[in-house]
Chain A
């Protein structure tokens, strides 16, 4: 005579009295580990305009626009970005950084395009790329 079925009965009954394994998300937010790849951050004063990040981005999410002499701005489309961090590794001057922000959802896709400009005002009007 084979064993009676229902081998999991003890485990199942013990689990009835334990706390559920579900995290109550919007109320309890998990802390992301240090390596987590979230939103990008760009430091305009460190950029030298080598465009290596643009060349290496798998989804063409970042564009570097020259505003003036040694002044660059970065246009990042968060909708296209795949958060791989290759641009961070490719940048020779460490002008790009990965933060741990992950709650980036928007209803309007235009709001996903963010621009990182420098703080100091432009000394000359934006020049065409020479």
Chain B
């Protein structure tokens, strides 16, 4: 029974949805203030969500209705499920087990694949182009992101997120070793979240709305909610892996620390959105493979060497 409460209300679906909508407001407000504008009021993302729920779902005649409808639902489910494995208020998450770091990363890949499926089965030209771009981008950022996030796991000698947190709480200064990995993961996660400079799949001026062009109504509401929730999950994952302090001092401090860390990530995302232009897909792939992957490999190497030294 209490599991059901955890999954559906806190920190599951309801808490995550409201937090995601509020974080979207924060992102848009910061973006606007940095550009010398006023920005939306606090209830804007919630109002958008409710308005979209009330609109009609138009399914194009040539689209495959099964996949068209399944894609947003699967994406939302995967994103929410990934959140359940992240420790929020203490060192142990709700349903932790060995290997849950990899499971979280896989669960975060499912929304990307669902964007592709939704776009591809919409059959319209703009959607297909956007869908193909999403998957092309996946080839570029996935490798540095995975390497960046798994390097601290290698140092901690465990594949379980909770045990990683315990390890870093016992050795508080070890998080400095992972700084290069932090930077690499931070840049690569822009690609996963499709934020400028890597918002190529949803480039408004080139392909209208990419994979989301044909979506409307409830399905679009779910896709947008998925994007926001992904931002929180990715931010939380980065916060737990690279900034693992405060999780051992009790649930209240742990939770407040979690909120602050996620907000710090969101501020960084908004800042990046403001000062960079969008890259072209070929420039993005060459950037990721030329600069990010070597840095991630470097971090991996450092961690492997240091693990040998620490064991000694």
Q: State A21–B272 Cα separation when bound (angstroms).
A: 22
Query: CB-CB < 8 A to B125: which residues of A?
Result: none
Choice from A5, A7, A9, A20 contacting B33 with Cβ under 8 Å: A20
Minimal beta-carbon separation of A70 from chain B (angstroms): 56
Please classify how large the interface on chain B is, using the bins under 10, 10 to 19, 20 to 34, 35 or more: 10 to 19
- Interface status of A13 (Cβ within 8 A of chain B): yes
- Interface status of A18 (Cβ within 8 A of chain B): yes
Q: State A16–B274 Cα separation when bound (angstroms).
A: 11
B275 touches A16 (CB 8 A): no
Query: CB-CB < 8 A to B14: which residues of A?
Result: none
Choice from B38, B197, B271 contacting A12 with Cβ under 8 Å: B271
A22 touches B35 (CB 8 A): no
Name A40-65 residues within 8 Å CB distance of B.
Answer: none
Choice from B33, B38, B197, B276 contacting A16 with Cβ under 8 Å: B33
Please classify how large the interface on chain A is, using the bins under 10, 10 to 19, 20 to 34, 35 or more: 10 to 19
Minimal beta-carbon separation of A92 from chain B (angstroms): 49
A12 touches B34 (CB 8 A): yes
A15 touches B276 (CB 8 A): no
Name B28-63 residues within 8 Å CB distance of A.
Answer: 30, 32-38
Q: A9-B271, A12-B271 are in contact. Are A21 and B276 (CB under 8 A)?
A: no
Query: CB-CB < 8 A to A15: which residues of B?
Result: 33-36
- Interface status of A33 (Cβ within 8 A of chain B): no
A21 touches B34 (CB 8 A): no
Minimal beta-carbon separation of B46 from chain A (angstroms): 23
Residue of B nearest to A18 (CB): B36
Residue of B nearest to A12 (CB): B34
Query: CB-CB < 8 A to B35: which residues of A?
Result: 12, 15
A6 touches B275 (CB 8 A): yes
Minimal beta-carbon separation of A24 from chain B (angstroms): 8
- Interface status of A27 (Cβ within 8 A of chain B): no
